[in-house]
């Protein structure tokens, strides 16, 4: 195997297709409308992961985990402003991905790879956090979510970048019609991907493509051709366009004759946002709750590996996987070893993908600075439970609509560290029936779980939290390139404060 890795695998390119959707959004995972034929075909030609997780139930920390192979609590993408609070990178965030973190494209670049990010970066928008300073060679997309439109006085509209400089702003130069949901962004992102692949194929360069589009993130959008075509409303329209785009990317790889040298992985950064459903959010299938929570619906994701000629068609795996594994697996594909000077949480999934092996490993469910739960085998132990506060819930913010489970989907932070709530996810994937504390099964399972948790906490060295401080002066007032476009805006006086994270 070592010889193979140092020769053939070195020339393997790979693409990670990363966006927000739920486990139950694809036909291959049982969605009844069957409106994702290309992703379903991708699954039939590759390997479907049924037990694949994100590293956090929110966007920014998940992306940091994917690109570093490390839990957000290690790489700094968390907050200590409140216990077990989700945090991300809005415009006023001061922090971002630390220079001390080694990102996947930085390591691949040293091995001769050309790296491009298309879509949402979300790891900090100040100059020192720019993706081209962290290993990417090209970027087309935005530093933040496509929220807006803003008035450019209290808040600036989000910029869209090509490489080092902005080329416009959302809602001004890159239109999103909030009334109809029409926007052409997915088509632009698709063409960027195809052009990049063409360029690297022509120059015989191995590449890493990180396609991080955001059409299924509220406010949801789709291009005119797809509007009104889904049984599932605007969200379904956006999903159909993404499905179509994925199909075109895969077919393009085949047309160019490089599909057998290109490993492609499709997954999500967090579960479907049920708070936005059904018009602006997806489905988490049988699983409990959604985005923002550490229940299965918030962190178990659809995942498909595709590599013609290497991955046997029609494979289905119960391997416990995590987005952090894409870091280590990608390095393995490139014939590289992960950094040895830090704790890497991602594992190499190639033995699973190529040989069907199952690797014993736990899944940790973090919310901010707290380990809320852990999965070991088919058992999941909740050490803390919380959906959201009564205050937020009373405003109509519901992360678990129609799914209240007494004593589980709590609206206060409930500690269970003495007697964790334990579920068997094989018999009870919806986390509705905790095992009896007095049962022999509970005692046996918790003996195993307790050892895993003890080992994890004993070796955990938290990173410096990057998501604690906010300041309106650091917003996207005058990004690089704004002067060429006449789009520089005057920032307010700096007034750094603790960020408020309600969830």
- Pick the last residue of a domain from 360, 385, 408: 360
Whether residue 438 is contained in a domain is answered as: yes
Same domain, 42 and 106: yes
Whether residue 419 is contained in a domain is answered as: yes
Structure-token pair, residue 179: 């009334």
pLDDT of 3: 29
pLDDT of 7: 31
Answer whether 229's CB lies under 8 Å from 134's CB. Answer: no
Same domain, 92 and 207: yes
CA 427 from chain center: how many Å? 27
Span 93-119, pLDDT tens digits: 999 999 999 999 999 999 999 999 999
Whether residue 302 is contained in a domain is answered as: yes
Answer whether 345's CB lies under 8 Å from 78's CB. Answer: no
Structure-token pair, residue 204: 């015989």
CB-count burial class (<10 Å; 0-12, 13-18, 19+) for 231: exposed
Mean pLDDT of 334-346: 97
Could you please report the per-residue DSSP string of 112-181? T-EEEEEEE--S--SGGG-GGGTT-SEEEEESS-------SSSSPPPEEEETTEEEEEBTTTB---TTT-
104: helix, strand or coil: helix
**What residues act catalytically?**
59, 122
**Range name among 14-18, 211-215, 401-405 with the lowest pLDDT average:** 14-18
Whether residue 143 is contained in a domain is answered as: no
Same domain, 310 and 414: no
Same domain, 215 and 255: yes
What is the residue whose two structure tokens read 């216990």? 83
Structure-token pair, residue 76: 């700094």
pLDDT of 115: 98
Whether residue 494 is contained in a domain is answered as: no
Same domain, 260 and 382: no
Answer whether 499's CB lies under 8 Å from 87's CB. Answer: yes
What value does the CA radius of gyration of the chain take, rounded to a whole number of Å? 22
Backbone angles phi, psi at 20, to 5 degrees: -95, 120
Same domain, 436 and 307: no
Span 125-171, pLDDT tens digits: 999 999 999 999 999 999 999 999 999 999 999 999 999 999 999 99
Whether residue 223 is contained in a domain is answered as: yes
Whether residue 486 is contained in a domain is answered as: no
CB-count burial class (<10 Å; 0-12, 13-18, 19+) for 396: exposed
Could you please report the per-residue DSSP string of 206-261? -EEEEEE--TTSSSP-B-TTTTT--TTHHHHHHHHHHHHHHHHHHHHHHHTT-GGG
Which residues does residue 371 pair with via DSSP β-bridges, in sequence order? 366
Same domain, 449 and 418: yes
Residues 420 and 297: their CA atoms lie apart, in Å, by 19
Structure-token pair, residue 460: 């955990």
Residues 6+ apart with CB under 8 A from 204: none
pTM, to two decimals: 0.96
Phi-psi label, residue 181: left if phi above 0, alpha if psi -120 to 50, beta otherwise: left
Span 460-491, pLDDT tens digits: 999 999 999 999 999 999 999 999 999 999 99
Answer whether 23's CB lies under 8 Å from 282's CB. Answer: no
Same domain, 312 and 426: no
CATH code at position 204: 3.40.720.10
Q: What percent of the chain has pLDDT over 70?
A: 98
CATH code at position 418: 3.30.1120.10
Provide the residue range defining the domain that includes 452: 370-459
Residues 6+ apart with CB under 8 A from 484: 165
- Pick the last residue of a domain from 429, 444, 459: 459
DSSP run (H or E) holding 11: none
Whether residue 485 is contained in a domain is answered as: no
Answer whether 56's CB lies under 8 Å from 11's CB. Answer: no
Same domain, 426 and 447: yes
The number of residues in the chain equals 503
Span 229-278, pLDDT tens digits: 999 999 999 999 999 999 999 999 999 999 999 999 999 999 999 999 88
Residue 447 has pLDDT above 80, yes or no: yes
- Pick the last residue of a domain from 332, 360, 388: 360
Residue 11 has pLDDT above 70, yes or no: no
3-state helix, strand, coil in the chain (%, to 5): 30, 20, 50
**Number of structural domains the chain divides into:** 2
What is the residue whose two structure tokens read 């360069």? 205
Best CA proximity match to 335, nearest among 49, 51, 107: 107
Residues 288 and 295: their CA atoms lie apart, in Å, by 6
Q: For CA atoms 118, 320, 399, 223, give the dihedral sign.
A: positive
Answer whether 105's CB lies under 8 Å from 134's CB. Answer: yes
What is the residue whose two structure tokens read 């739960």? 373
Does the annotation list 1 as a binding residue? no
Same domain, 378 and 347: no
Does the annotation list 115 as a binding residue? no
Residue 5 has pLDDT above 70, yes or no: no
Angle between helices 37-45 and 233-255 (to 10 degrees): 50
Same domain, 280 and 397: no
Same domain, 201 and 320: yes
Cα distances (angstroms) measured from residue 295 to each of 233, 256, 270, 339, 429: 26, 42, 11, 31, 10
pLDDT of 12: 81
Does the annotation list 269 as a binding residue? yes
Residues 145 and 123: their CA atoms lie apart, in Å, by 11
């Amino acid at each position: 195997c070592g010889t193979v890795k140092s020769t053939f695998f070195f020339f393997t390119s790979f693409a990670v297709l990363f966006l927000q959707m739920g486990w139950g959004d694809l036909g291959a995972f049982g969605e009844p409308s069957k409106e994702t034929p290309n992703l379903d075909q991708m699954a039939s030609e590759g390997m479907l992961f049924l037990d694949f997780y994100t590293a956090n139930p929110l966007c920014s920390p998940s992306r940091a985990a994917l690109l570093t192979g490390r839990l957000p609590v290690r790489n700094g993408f968390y907050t200590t402003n409140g216990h077990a609070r989700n945090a991300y990178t809005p415009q006023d965030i001061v922090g971002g991905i630390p220079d001390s973190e080694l990102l996947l494209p930085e390591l691949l670049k040293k091995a001769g790879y050309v790296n491009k990010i298309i879509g949402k970066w979300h790891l900090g928008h100040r100059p020192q956090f720019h993706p081209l300073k962290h290993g990417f060679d090209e970027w087309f997309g935005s530093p933040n979510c496509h929220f807006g439109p803003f008035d450019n006085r209290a808040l600036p509209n989000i910029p869209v970048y090509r490489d080092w400089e902005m080329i416009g702003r959302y809602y001004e130069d890159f239109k999103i019609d909030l009334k109809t949901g029409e926007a052409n962004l997915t088509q632009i992102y698709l063409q960027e991907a195809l052009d990049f692949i063409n360029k690297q194929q022509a120059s015989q360069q191995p590449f890493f493509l990180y396609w991080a589009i955001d059409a299924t993130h509220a406010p949801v959008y789709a291009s005119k051709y797809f509007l009104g075509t889904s049984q599932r409303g605007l969200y379904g329209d956006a999903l159909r366009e993404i499905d179509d785009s994925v199909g075109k990317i895969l077919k393009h790889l085949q047309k160019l004759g490089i599909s057998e040298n290109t490993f492609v992985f499709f997954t999500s950064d967090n579960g479907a946002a049920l708070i936005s459903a059904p018009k602006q959010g997806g489905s988490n299938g049988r699983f409990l709750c959604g985005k923002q929570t550490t229940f299965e619906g918030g962190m178990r994701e659809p995942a498909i590996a595709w590599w013609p000629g290497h991955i046997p068609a029609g494979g289905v795996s119960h391997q416990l996987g995590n987005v952090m594994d894409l870091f280590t697996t990608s390095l393995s594909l490139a014939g590289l070893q992960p950094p040895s000077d830090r704790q890497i949480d991602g594992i190499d999934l190639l033995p699973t993908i190529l040989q069907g092996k199952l690797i014993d490993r736990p899944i940790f469910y973090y919310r901010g600075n707290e380990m809320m739960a852990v999965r070991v085998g088919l058992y999941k132990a909740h050490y803390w439970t919380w959906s959201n506060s009564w205050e937020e819930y009373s405003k109509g913010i519901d992360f678990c609509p129609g799914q209240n489970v007494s004593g589980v989907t709590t609206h206060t932070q409930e500690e269970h560290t003495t007697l964790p709530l334990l579920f068997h996810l094989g018999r009870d994937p919806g986390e509705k029936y905790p095992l009896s504390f007095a049962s022999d099964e509970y005692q046996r399972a918790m003996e195993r779980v307790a050892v895993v948790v003890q080992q994890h906490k004993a070796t955990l060295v938290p990173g410096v939290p990057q998501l604690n401080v906010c300041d309106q002066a650091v917003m996207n007032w005058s990004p690089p390139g704004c002067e060429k476009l006449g789009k520089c805006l005057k920032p307010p006086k700096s007034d750094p404060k603790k960020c408020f994270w309600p969830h």
